[in-house]
Structure 1
């Protein structure tokens, strides 16, 4: 056991003019093309010139809507179904707020199935997850301390872990590399975004290796996951599961003199139990190794940890684009509807919910946008921002999007948006306040799916970073042009 103080390390061409409506439309606002004004036609031509200059290949779709009137100002292929990437998290946010409410909290509990006598629980102790994807090691450390303060020093029965609040998912997206920390398992009991930290340092004989569950205050060693170094070039990592433990190998040629990275966990309940057992031992409470159970036993709640309110959880999820939080809150929202048998089923339920609010045509494979099978048109995305965003207070939850300086000073256009990035996919959706007092909602989807498919499941294929850079420049240019043309 090693527990020390450490700080957490990371981690269509013509514009479409439509009549304004006094309230939200009944369906997605895609009227037939009408004669455009000279100003709009010129703006559309200029947008095409910007797209040509970006040299992205693939497809570009966008839509910009007057937020006050609901008038569609300009669009290009607005109904073209494209991967939304992390922009999908804005829909998940709206879904979760609607189904669960902004004040919802997720609870993680320690339950005793028998009475406490002489410091010993005469029964089992259960670490029961409540769907909290923000639970981290410091929270478990506090729960271990509170358990000891409740008088528990040992148990007569088993130490059980339960994550059945949410359906277990081994990974969020199947087309991602096995070893990336942003594609972990998801269950009702999660810890540290279901990642462990692998650290290495070269010594004379090879490498000193460690796997831990670090957070801001403590760094407990992890026993259920191990890494060994193998003399090879590729693959960089391999993963196997043996007797409930996770076995990683890493290529020696990839390590250098030292470093660290987060690796995903595929057995989150056992992981959380493993770490809690170590933390409890440090407080003087002895527990056996954790055992996973499919059904939650009844008993008395001894200790309970609650997450922050959902509104705060979602704000952080949007700003830091945390995939596992999106999946957990999305499945929790579907559970409230009685429709969370699987992650994919929950994502379909979210699409049904969105269609019920008049925005049709979306297909979601998950709640985070990590899976490339999700499809959404930029027009549908912009319509959702107009129809659902203001009531939910979405803009205040979005991160400011940097606009280029004007004349050496700050850009007067204020943008709050969600970005999305996959290999050869870059998306942006949000709101813009213009210097002339205009309020716009927009969505821009870019993607070269042929290049993405050809690259395969690698972390950063050749050319992808430069491609995304050009896409982001295009997004800035389009928003700046719309603010100028439609900003009054």
Structure 2
């Protein structure tokens, strides 16, 4: 990270606190005079104690994962590799990729960066009529929601606009149009988003259903914390069949879905991806504007921002977006941040792969990740690869800088039943990564006595993943149990390393 982009811990926490007055911050994020790394938890007062280090082969064998397990752990003080296996082999990092994307975005955009969504006009306002075109211009904000659009609609009405004499246009050109993040995901996967310069509600529409008479009543809406506007450009039809569960097609500016009746039950709801995000945002904004007494024509794509700015919505500062991305592992946020970073660096990304190549080059130059083979910014693509030695070194070096540990979430240690262990002697801040039959974890652990270790672990059974039939790609048979065993193995490895160093 260039010197002017390195955040002090004080600056980082001020940005996070200032950007989200209602967000709950961990208690450790209060005193900037402390070490940038998490403080060790005391063993007094009935705290759990570390068991003796288990043999590493027993840990791996007990997990019964198949495929490949690779890991590396580094003493952050000395840089010494403490233990490793398959550490030079490029393995899938899954969503651990987002940790790299976080620092890539901070470096390219700066910690004060905010995404802006604007309403602009090509004419003046007279007698309640905007004489010209109205443009809803996206700035690539990955967390724009219906409530934010409602605020823009209210601001438009406050400017005295009641109708528009020209066109209602959307400008979604701030980021390149990406049809979907990965091509091997189920059609209905809301996490496999379309990306554009105008992203509303993570580019998802809310689908709900309930049994009514001899059929089903369905609804498609763009709900938020306060509002629930109906979406007209996304349609759902219930079909009397068992499979496929969902089908999708884009037709005449509409997203047309069908769902198998046998899969519905009595009632339920889920989020589905939107594949025409510009028209989706225009549809929702038009409804919200009508609620403010502003009549708009149907939205059209292809607009370009310009003229007078009538209203603007700003996102929270970049560190807060990153913290939430790492906490909730939102794919669209990672991709939008990565694309925006590459654009800011002058790359002009044509695709996610092209943008990821720019991040790979940056990671090699900045953190020495010679094996960096990221193919996107979220880790959703299983064809990505990086060695665990490189990834552990990334966490060691970024941990020493102090920025990333403040953004990573606390990683809870759990017992055999999956319950969080209170007063566990280890403090772990890490990023998880999960795909079907892929589980990764990377971060920093502080052991009793204050020593800090940086680690990276990847377990993958790619042949088993590749062999999944289409109808099992969302919930594969045996997938939950496999992931549970992988996570247990990861914890046992961390506890082993801590026991060796305590």
With normalisation by structure 1, the TM-score equals 0.89
SS in 2 for 1:455: coil
State which of 413, 421, 427 in structure 2 corresponds to 1:414: 427
Runs of at least 5 residues in structure 1 that lack an aligned partner in the other structure? 1-41
- What is the deviation of 1:456? 4.1
In structure 2, the partner of 1:28 is none
In structure 1, the partner of 2:287 is 278
In structure 2, the partner of 1:368 is 378
Q: Kindly indicate whether the alpha-carbon contact (under 8 Å) linking 1:144 and 1:280 is maintained by their aligned counterparts in 2.
A: yes
With normalisation by structure 2, the TM-score equals 0.86
Q: Kindly indicate whether the alpha-carbon contact (under 8 Å) linking 1:405 and 1:411 is maintained by their aligned counterparts in 2.
A: no
| 1:108-257 equivalent positions in 2, closer than 5 A | 108-257=117-266
Tell me the alpha carbon deviations over residues 17-73 of structure 1, each in whole angstroms, 9 at most, x when there is no partner: xxxxxxxxxxxxxxxxxxxxxxxxx97x81122101111110000010111222211
In structure 2, the partner of 1:314 is 322
Distance 1:226 1:390 in 2: 51
Distance 1:138 1:198 in 2: 18
- What is the deviation of 1:106? 0.2
Instruction: Find out whether 1:335 has 2:343 as its counterpart.
Output: yes
Tell me the alpha carbon deviations over residues 72-115 of structure 1, each in whole angstroms, 9 at most, x when there is no partner: 11111111111111000000001001111111100000000111
| 1:37-56 equivalent positions in 2, closer than 5 A | 46-56=55-65
Instruction: Find out whether 1:475 has 2:490 as its counterpart.
Output: yes
Distance 2:229 2:180 in 1: 24
Runs of at least 5 residues in structure 2 that lack an aligned partner in the other structure? 1-51
In structure 2, the partner of 1:455 is 468
CA RMSD of the aligned region, Å? 1.4
- What is the deviation of 1:391? 2.1
In structure 2, the partner of 1:62 is 71
Moved more, 127-136 or 335-344: 335-344
- What is the deviation of 1:390? 3.4
In structure 1, the partner of 2:499 is 484
In structure 1, the partner of 2:412 is 402
Query: How many pairs does the alignment contain?
Result: 443
Q: Kindly indicate whether the alpha-carbon contact (under 8 Å) linking 1:94 and 1:389 is maintained by their aligned counterparts in 2.
A: no
Distance 2:486 2:306 in 1: 53
For the structure 1 residues 125 and 385, does the alpha-carbon distance in structure 2 shift closer, same or farther, using more than 3 Å as the test?
same
Q: Kindly indicate whether the alpha-carbon contact (under 8 Å) linking 2:194 and 2:275 is maintained by their aligned counterparts in 1.
A: yes
Distance 2:276 2:62 in 1: 47
- What is the deviation of 1:116? 1.2
